[in-house]
Structure 1
Amino acid sequence: MSTVAHTVDNREIVVGTDGSPCATAAVRWAAEEAALREVPLRVLLAHDTGPRFGGEPGLHPEQVDAILDAGADAARRVDRDLDVRPQQVVGWAVPALLNAAGGAGMLVVGSRGHGGFASLLLGSVCQQVASRAPCAVAMVREGVHAGPVVVGSDGSEPARGALAVGFRLADERHAPLLAVRAYYPPTPPLGYGYQSLVHAVGDLDQATADRLAGDLRPWRQRYPTVRVDTAVVHGSAAGALVEQSRDALAVVVGSHGRGRVTGALHGSVGPHLLRHARCPVMVTHERQRAAVT
């Protein structure tokens, strides 16, 4: 029987802020997660002292203090007993975030902002942080998000890490979990009958569902109170996950940590999901996966 060797991650959570409304939403989301895990929360502001890209002036010390104080206050409004650790770093967002993530259990950022985190998740910064961070990266959008934790599961090793993070998140937030597996049915040869095609695709769907159920079995055992649903869909994983994100608490996917999102989530799926998902997106990394024996 498969079992999951589960280790609780008690490392701090790091959240990037620049004082924008979306960054404040990210701080609140990160504070909720830190409170649930009973870990410290580091509120990080990366900024330039000189002119920034586009000629915008850098931040003055008074502005830096005000942004960090506002971020810390937003976190403590979630939980007044939370261990909040404000920090400023002079420099570009990517190395500042990646450096802080080195000792973190999770890195949280907003989907857009200004100042040191301008358009953080809309271009190369997003992809670099999501693919290179040594811990899970959560991209948070403004608004209230409810529903299941949606996990993209393609059967790969990194997808096991996504399942580990997804089940933990669902358990912490008392939410159901929806595991999604997408594939393209093979194109039938000329002359292949319609009824034969229907039966063949049906058999493929059942085999795919069975493999997905096998991947989920040890996690169901580890988290027996989490309600689990599955979906096997034809076509693009990106489209399927974006569609599910409309009514989701979060979407979780795995990354190889080598600059691209993995397996069924390859190619442009990662950037597409980060840009178009309607809920927070979490990208996990291969080194995080729990051992399954």
Structure 2
Amino acid sequence: MMAGYIVVGVDGSAPATAAVEWAAADAQRRGLAIRIVHVGEQQWPHGETIECRAGALEAAADRARRLTRDVKVTAELLSGHVITNLIAESESADSLVLGSRGLGGFARMVLGSVGTAVAGHAAGPVVVVRAPAVVQHGRIVVGDDGSEHSEAAMAYAVEQAGARGAQLHVVSACQMPALSPYAVNYSSLMESALRDEARVARERVIPWRERSPGLVITDDQPFEHPAIALVEASRTADLVVVGSRGLGGFASAVLGSVSRGVLHRVHCPVAVVRPRAKARP
């Protein structure tokens, strides 16, 4: 994971404030700086002025400073296209943190086109925060299917769990397709294939345990839809981590049905992780 700073996108909304609070705690734990940005497009809604935007930005920065110790906090008011600016900010940042909904340029941030584009194209992890945490469970949940994207998600989840002193729970869900009641032999074959898939998933966790001996890592291979499994696991999690795309049940994990189910129904913050682009020789 890249060192340096966390970028937080704000707009004065309650979810954006929750995003600032989440980023402040994460920066404090992991020894990172915080960069807070407010992106203003040409058409400003609700009679908003540059003074209003500057005030919302400074309030967010003050909030981050009050919640941290010895964490560098900077803030900048940007102009231009929201998606383009946020994706550009993600290029050199450790992660990008956003509220689940917002005002102005951040309207429908997660559940609309802006959030989908940012989560699907940002250079690194995008953390989506709905509201301030009320209860700490001491557990991070990560979805794994063996793809390159879930590998990046696992790495981020391990880092988060280690920084928090939390347990890590790996969910590798698979779902049996609907079959005709007459397809008895095929059903038996599918059950055998699912058992093999679960065994392979358990084996994928072993190297992570070996590399992180001080971390408690549990795993589960439920035979159900991945989104359902992750949402259920999120009830007792402080963070759910998914790859931005995957294989099998996690295909198009963020831009498809799984991600939509998770983002609409999850009970805690969600981190969407893409593998970092490899530097050219």
- Do the structures match in fold with TM over 0.5? yes
Structure 2 counterpart of 1:264: 249
Distance 1:50 1:275 in 2: 28
Aligned residue pairs total 270
Structure 2 counterpart of 1:29: 22
Query: Structure 1 residues 189 and 156, CA, compared in 2 at 3 Å: closer, same or farther?
Result: farther
Q: Does 2:111 correspond to 1:89?
A: no
Distance 2:202 2:43 in 1: 54
Identical counterparts, % of pairs: 37
Structure 1 counterpart of 2:9: 16
Q: CA RMSD in A?
A: 2.4
1:177-188 paired onto structure 2 within 5 Å: 177-185=168-176, 187=179
Distance 1:170 1:40 in 2: 19
Gaps of at least 5 residues in structure 2 are none
User: Which residue identity lines up with residue 156 of structure 2 in the other structure?
Assistant: V
Q: Does 2:83 correspond to 1:98?
A: no
Q: Does 2:128 correspond to 1:139?
A: yes
Structure 1 counterpart of 2:197: 208
Cα drift, residue 288 of structure 1: 6.7
Distance 1:263 1:127 in 2: 20
Higher relative contact order (CA closer than 8 Å, sequence separation 6+): 1
User: Which residue identity lines up with residue 243 of structure 1 in the other structure?
Assistant: E
1:127-206 paired onto structure 2 within 5 Å: 127-144=116-133, 145-147=135-137, 148-185=139-176, 187=179, 190=182, 192=184, 197=188, 201=191, 203-204=192-193, 206=195
Distance 1:15 1:62 in 2: 20
What TM-score, normalized by structure 1, do the two folds share? 0.84
Cα drift, residue 222 of structure 1: 2.0
Does the Cα contact within 8 Å between 2:7 and 2:93 map onto a contact in 1?
yes
Alignment partner of 1:45 out of 22, 38, 48: 38
User: Which residue identity lines up with residue 84 of structure 2 in the other structure?
Assistant: P
Cα drift, residue 206 of structure 1: 4.5
Query: Structure 1 residues 191 and 49, CA, compared in 2 at 3 Å: closer, same or farther?
Result: closer
Distance 2:227 2:183 in 1: 32
SS in 2 for 1:208: helix
Distance 1:269 1:104 in 2: 26
